[in-house]
Amino acid sequence: MPGNIIQWFPGHMAQTRRVMKESLGSVDLIFEILDARIPASSRNPEIEALSEGKKRVVILNKADLADPTETEKWLKKLREDGCEAVAVDSKSGKGKEEILSRAKQLMREKLERNREKGMSRPLRAMVVGIPNVGKSTLINRFAGRVAAKAENRPGVTRNKQWVRAGKELELLDMPGVLWPKFEDVATGENLAMTGAIKDTILQSEEVAVLLCGRLKDRYPALFAARYKLSDEHMELEPYELFLAVGKKRGFLVSGGEVAEDRCAAVLLEEFRSGLIGRITLEEVPCGPSV
């Protein structure tokens, strides 16, 4: 399994680097979107090099699905590491205003120079992030309409698309695709559990069992409450726990066996839509955040 994940996406970074480079000259800064539930795993470690010195606002998106206490810790860590960082729920728009104020703060010298020259044009930001992290949703939220439509297939370069977001901001959907980079097994697992990589890469049963293990370790009370699991259940190994969930929910085939595919689909769907609770899968590291 780990081999499969780590070997994914050969060679697309070169194309991304090229198309991003072509557009960097026309933006003032970068909005780097991460998934608040897995901030490190959803960050492409090459973003620093790809940004070519442009300033970045780091956006922890899907904050509505993440544990608020953990999100605060991540924001603190990112800010300690020298980033402007904001938590956002792009679906509702919560936190959106802070992105603009952080961007203006980052670019204050340039804005001041422009003002002195009598120039007043909106700030231009390129929105970058791995597929499914919420780039289109955020852009549409800023635009107040459906403006962005992402094309996440390898080898497909999206058309350049500027979106006006009020008087002070213009957004550019990232050209090219910033694939995630799995440098270790845990990163691949985190991306699979949140749905950033599709369940065809890993078997969904496998991903659901991983999720049971993670929920047992990190959010036992939420997990037990959702599936009415007893203390004895919570002592079980992840696979047995997964079967216990299936039995509790009545996902059985004739003969009384658990219908593993159905159980996995429901577990993953309920986790991804926040029904189990607000869950962060990745802890703030002690060293640098990436």
CA atoms of 186 and 217, how far apart (whole Å): 14
Nearer to ligand G4P among residue 150 and residue 259 (C-beta): 150
To the nearest whole angstrom, how small is the minimum distance from the Cβ of residue 252 to ligand G4P?
28
To the nearest whole angstrom, how small is the minimum distance from the Cβ of residue 241 to ligand G4P?
25
Nearer to ligand G4P among residue 213 and residue 274 (C-beta): 274
Nearer to ligand G4P among residue 153 and residue 167 (C-beta): 153
Nearer to ligand G4P among residue 170 and residue 173 (C-beta): 173
Whose CB is nearest to ligand G4P?
134
Nearer to ligand G4P among residue 160 and residue 228 (C-beta): 160
To the nearest whole angstrom, how small is the minimum distance from the Cβ of residue 131 to ligand G4P?
5
CA atoms of 100 and 96, how far apart (whole Å): 7
Nearer to ligand G4P among residue 148 and residue 208 (C-beta): 148
CA 198 to mean position of chain CA atoms: 14
- Cα three-residue angle 277-213-245, rounded to 5 degrees: 70
Helix count (H) and strand count (E) of the chain? 12, 6
Nearer to ligand G4P among residue 89 and residue 189 (C-beta): 89
Do residues 237 and 160 make contact, with C-beta atoms less than 8 angstroms apart?
A: no
Q: Residue 195: which of 3, 38, 9 has the closest Cα?
A: 38
Q: Residue 140: which of 169, 171, 167 has the closest Cα?
A: 171
DSSP state of 282: S
To the nearest whole angstrom, how small is the minimum distance from the Cβ of residue 142 to ligand G4P?
12
CA atoms of 105 and 32, how far apart (whole Å): 16
Please state the φ and ψ torsions of residue 266, each to the nearest 5 degrees.
-70, -45
To the nearest whole angstrom, how small is the minimum distance from the Cβ of residue 210 to ligand G4P?
20
CA 228 to mean position of chain CA atoms: 29
Distances (CA, A) of 123 to 114, 149, 192, 210: 11, 22, 35, 42
To the nearest whole angstrom, how small is the minimum distance from the Cβ of residue 20 to ligand G4P?
15
Please state the φ and ψ torsions of residue 151, each to the nearest 5 degrees.
-125, 105
Please state the φ and ψ torsions of residue 24, each to the nearest 5 degrees.
-60, -35
CA atoms of 33 and 139, how far apart (whole Å): 11
Q: Look at the alpha carbons of 29, 35, 39, 41 in this order and tell me if their dihedral is positive or negative.
A: negative
To the nearest whole angstrom, how small is the minimum distance from the Cβ of residue 167 to ligand G4P?
24
Nearer to ligand G4P among residue 96 and residue 110 (C-beta): 96
Q: Where on the chain is the footprint of ligand G4P (CB under 6 A)?
A: 61-62, 64-65, 89-91, 129, 131-137, 150, 152
To the nearest whole angstrom, how small is the minimum distance from the Cβ of residue 125 to ligand G4P?
15
